[in-house]
Structure 1
Amino acid sequence: MSKKSKSDNQSLQIPKPILITAKFLQAISPKLASRFAAKLFTTPIKYKIPKREFHMEKQSVQIDVLIPSINKTVKTYQYGNSKNKILLVHGWSGRGTQLVKIADKLIDLGYATVSFDAPAHGKSKGNSTIMTEFIASIHELDKQFGPFEYAIGHSLGGMSIINAIKQNLYVKKAVIIGSGDLIQDIIIDFIEKLQLKPEIGNRMREHFEQKFGESMNNYSTSVVAKNVETPVLIIHDEDDSDVNVKCAHSIHSHLKNSKLMITKKLGHRKILGNEKVIEEIITFIRS
């Protein structure tokens, strides 16, 4: 699924040749169909950097950092010169400059940001990745560039931050925007978009659980949230067509210390540049 979309504001659309291939494999072999789905599930789309992110890309100090635990290298972006650092984590098929509007405001307020292209994203090498590699990258960046005062994540980046905090990443506060929740729901949604039967999704989940030796549900945000005491601001749009707003309410109900902001008509990506959203983030981290 390396095909580039015309707009990163659109919801995921599966190309017809892939849908045809998936249905063909399902007809001849559910096992092959599940392996095909698993491959697609772990293959992000690499989008071109839009003009609005050019200045952050040019002004950042970029360094390739090896993540030893996964033996992969990620491109990192150090933006600003302050000792007060904030970690930014993009979502699936995103990039290290995607939270540019938030980063610019933080720079104006005297912070510096550190972000990265997750494995197989942006300028980082590779074709496939999974959330555990996002989490591993966060921990390694904390060792090399931290400690971070705060962490802000979008979509899968938000899920990864909550998981990293549960695994002893220390930040004063965290902000998650458009974050997913239950891994099983994410799989179901993905399989539905491929127009495949639920059985294929179950087979795909079992494939990953055998590969990694643990239940994928262990990484579901609301499950992990029960063990997180860090204050968290949850921001989600009620018209998000990529991640249902019910995820935000579920995560909020399971966190011990959280604040919920629900927006309207901003969708899954436009929300990252909204002034009111950015103001709420600033108010939260400075309060």
Structure 2
Amino acid sequence: MANFALDVTRLGFSLLQAVSPDLAGKAAFQLFCRTPSAKPKGAKARAAHAAGAARLTGAERFTLRLANGRQAHAYRLNGGARGKRKRYLVTHGWGSSAAYMAELVSMLSATGAEVVALDFPGHGRSGGRFLHMGLAVETIAVAEARFGAFDAAIGHSFGGAALMVSAAGLLPGVAPVTGERLVLIGAPSEMGWLFTDFGGMIGLRPTAQAALENEVHRITGRRLEDFDVGGAAGGIGRPVLVIHAEDDKEVSSLHARRYGAAGKGVRLFWANGFGHRRIIGAEPVLAAIAAFLDGDRGVVEVPDESIKKDAEIIPFFELPARRAAL
């Protein structure tokens, strides 16, 4: 938020919570779930969006109907292919869209696989300005019901967390995604820190902060602490590839380490130098994903030395013990 807007917001919540902490918590939740404008900001964002949209020009488009009149959007590539082929799901992060995931989508579709890329509610072509984890997980379930079971699902940031929440079957009455393999890129392992930081930013006092967090339970049927899926990655019975950059300034690499410590089925790869956003289309990252989806063939190999000028990608189990124990 701009400084003036934040000052006004803090003043408003200061007055509201003095009258009713519960109403302040409910209003804070609505603000927390308000998504950014789908219109790209800045020259780089516009260029990236235009390039991604061009890659998706030939894709089929679908509207996915959700509960309470909400909707999401899906792109599908290779939907008309015949014969046995893989089917992959791709989910984006907060404030992003399928267009920004287009390099990954193109790489997957080039294998001949059917690829479904989502625009969550409030993002891309879905319309609206509202999204929470429950809606994202519902969107994943509706997509699987519409297109069939996925062989693997790949998600970035919020989209990766949504995949893990779905795979763990955390939401009552919502079918979990059945992908045989999951890839999480720059994904958080829990959401409590976001609510704490947000409440602090808008000046919520403890009672109103509790009301904000209680909204999560009221709307999703799960308490905020239940969305801690750091340990769930090792218990879902399927391989998980976690890719993260230690220089990620939006989602701490500690989240990746939590996933990596969850069990033997989780493999942690570092893609240092690519931050939180460029990591999505980085060549060594795409290569690692392709190898993982191909049954791990070549996944443990260190990329060509030239790649190390920009990033390194290191298997978790090859890290020095001191570093891996952090």
Q: Which residue of 1 aligns with 2:101?
A: 99
Gaps of 5+ in 1: 1-13
Q: Which residue of 2 aligns with 1:258?
A: 266
Q: Deviations over 1:100-151 (max 9, x none)?
A: 1111111222222101211121111322121111111111111111221110
Answer with 244-253 or 90-99: which moved more. Answer: 90-99
1:123 aligned counterpart, secondary structure: helix
Supply the RMSD in Å over aligned alpha carbons: 2.1
2:56 aligned counterpart, secondary structure: helix
Q: Which residue of 2 aligns with 1:7?
A: none
Query: Aligned-pair distance for 1:219?
Result: 2.0
Q: Measure the CA separation in 2 of the matches of 1:60 and 1:263.
A: 29
Alignment size in residue pairs: 272
Letter matched to residue 128 of structure 1: F
Q: 1:256 to 1:205 in 2, by over 3 A?
A: farther
8 A Cα contact 1:180 1:186, kept in partner: no
8 A Cα contact 2:234 2:265, kept in partner: no
8 A Cα contact 1:188 1:198, kept in partner: no
**TM-score scaled by structure 1?**
0.87
Moved over 6 A (4+): none
Equivalent positions of 1:206-285 (< 5 A) are 206-225=214-233, 227-285=235-293
Answer with 142-151 or 78-87: which moved more. Answer: 78-87
Q: Which residue of 2 aligns with 1:4?
A: none
Q: Which has the larger radius of gyration?
A: 2
**TM-score scaled by structure 2?**
0.77
Q: Which residue of 1 aligns with 2:306?
A: none
Query: Aligned-pair distance for 1:70?
Result: 4.8
Q: Which residue of 2 aligns with 1:54?
A: 53
Letter matched to residue 39 of structure 2: Y
Query: Aligned-pair distance for 1:197?
Result: 5.0
1:77 is aligned to 2:64 = no
Q: Measure the CA separation in 2 of the matches of 1:188 and 1:15.
A: 19
8 A Cα contact 1:47 1:94, kept in partner: no
Q: Which residue of 1 aligns with 2:8?
A: 21
Q: Deviations over 1:32-91 (max 9, x none)?
A: 553443222101112336122122331111111212x45422111012344421100111
Equivalent positions of 1:167-186 (< 5 A) are 167=169, 168-186=176-194
Q: Measure the CA separation in 2 of the matches of 1:236 and 1:148.
A: 23
1:64 aligned counterpart, secondary structure: strand
Letter matched to residue 99 of structure 2: T
Q: Deviations over 1:144-167 (max 9, x none)?
A: 112211100011111111122122
